[in-house]
Structure 1
Amino acid sequence: MKKAAIIGGTGYGAIELIRLLDSHPYIELTKIISQSQHGELLDETYPHLATYLANPMEELNVEQLIHEIDIVFLATPAGIAKEIAASFQDTSVQCVDLSGDLRISSEDYQTWYEKKPASESLLEVAAYGLTEVFQEKIKQTNIISNPGCFPTAALLGLIPMLENNIIESKGIMIDGKTGISGAGKNPSAKTHFSTTNENVTPYKIGTHQHTPEIERYISQVTKEASVKVTLTTHLIPMTRGLMCTMYAPLHMDTDTNNVIELYKQYYKHSPFIRIRKPGEFPSTKDVTGSNYCDIGAYVDKRTNQLIITSAIDNLVKGAAGQAIQNINVMNEWDEKTGLSFLPIYP
């Protein structure tokens, strides 16, 4: 049994980690660390977790953690995680960062996050934790950069088609929609009930920090240095769920049946990817509360485009579930360990 800690233990991603780790047979969550709420019991903030952890949340003490913990999940905001992750770089502690600090280059990080980037040595050892695509790299390091929610859905839909030369890397457009939990726990005018209810709001047009992340890993797959995508994100009035609808120019003459078969072949060893039949497309409700990513596709010969739909739960496959999936791979456990539950429906 490996001992784990969550640093930044009161946000939505952390609370989802707690829920999922409770059923993991090889991981025991022993510490929850919160700088803002240390000394408090977890159920004072989240009553649904009453009786879960008797010990109060703690202050961060990295030196102590190195000797007491095997696994650390960083659920802190961007700008904070990189400093903590660096402390585990040359240790045996396995560290998964759920923030954006280690996902992109220093230059892009400064531009899009407007913060000081992580050290180059840390960026070099951190593996990008898109589990279905980068498993070998994930196995070879103790630092994982967990992908963002939009990049998870978008890249899982796009990469198989790019690797099979079905679509062009130039001209890709991504229409993303996410529930309110994607905006985080802290309330704002944008996430107020009276604002979000019966409303759809585009946000961060042309400035979303997940844009360079998607571009970077498309570039890795295609070996092209200057890939650019258009990402438009929308906040929609539901708690959980994320959908990316992608439009990509076709590189070759093909049809929907062929595309679906290519997806099935690409993901035949990926237990959390479910490919829809021709003419069928996923909805966010189909994956709520689960670690699944459901993908549908349609070849539009009239416009010479491939239309791809990709649905995930933003807090599970888009955050906590994928983090645990990466830990499973790092430890050579079955990839489904602690995650093989069905979606919640209705």
Structure 2
Amino acid sequence: MTDTPAIELVGVVKEFTSRGETVQAVRGVDLSIGEGEFFSLLGPSGCGKTTTMRMIAGFEEPTAGAVLLHGKDMVGVPPNRRDVNMVFQSYALFPHMSVAENVAFGLRRRRLAKPEITRRVGEMLEAVGLAGRERHRPAELSGGQQQRVALARALVNGPRALLLDEPLAALDLKLRQSMQVELKRIQREVGITFVFVTHDQGEALTLSDRIAVMNDGRVEQLGSPREVYERPGTRFVAGFIGTSNLLSGRVAERSGGHAVIVLGPEERIVVPAATAAGGELEVTVRPEKIDLGVERPPDGGSVLRGTVTEVIYQGTATHYNVRTSTGAGVVVFVQNTNDATDIAVRGDSVWLSWEPRHSYAIGA
């Protein structure tokens, strides 16, 4: 990566007027996206992620703040004069044109020589795995193939950044998963900056070098997929990224570099030195980190007692819903092995345990 960010947002605000009232869709966003990075804007519908992308592309102008592309402020510069291209969810292919004609459209508008257009279109179709499909029309292609045409058309002009607005949303699950792998491969081969908008947490975790989790027009957390999953900065991020169990209590003691929440004579939550003794703490622990059994585990980590309220078989794993003695609901994922049988059934009393390092204090 170069020292100058590929894309930088500085104090970006976007306001809309609705029924006489001013609504802030984006509230003071600061972002720096590196050259060659696969960067995702992740969040629920209405969080401001698509509006943020449209401001980068130039389809919306910020109410306040600056949008810099490779160090140059682009506020007021029209989309066709910004060195970025955008791929939409609908693909927006020309139905009357062949695959090759769709991909060549931008090159023809730039009046490049025909041999150069033919060469670049061929190279790009090879890169997206569509060599041999040059003469097909979009209607003759699958959804995944149409998406590859849209990618090729956006990339053939050699933009310095590609913006993708939920491009996989219209595909079925298996094809979407396959295209995630292809998209990452293409990005790595062409080596340009990708900015990806999605509401799908698994998609963002699979594809991204870094993720900005957005909520209510703000960036709640910015980090690598592992950081936002393992160390969520807010309650919203903990709940939005994957499945998370949120537990709370008052720290009663400190021992061996750990803060300990005592919930009963035999129950406790142990957190790595997250706060001073006596503090109120909210802790998150991921379902796959928890062990479930009918016997009380040895001391040393977090231990809770509960009753199984639901058992859900999911193929690769079984999900156990447990109501703890404190009334909190906890979800546990247990990997299914070749000879696995249910550890417990609905109504059974069980013990939950996990290592101290798997407890994470929200906001720590």
Q: TM-score, length-normalised on structure 2? A: 0.25
Greater fraction strand:
2
The structure that has the greater radius of gyration is: 2
Q: TM-score, length-normalised on structure 1? A: 0.26
User: Which protein, 1 or 2, shows the higher relative CO under an 8 Å CA cutoff with sep ≥ 6?
Assistant: 1
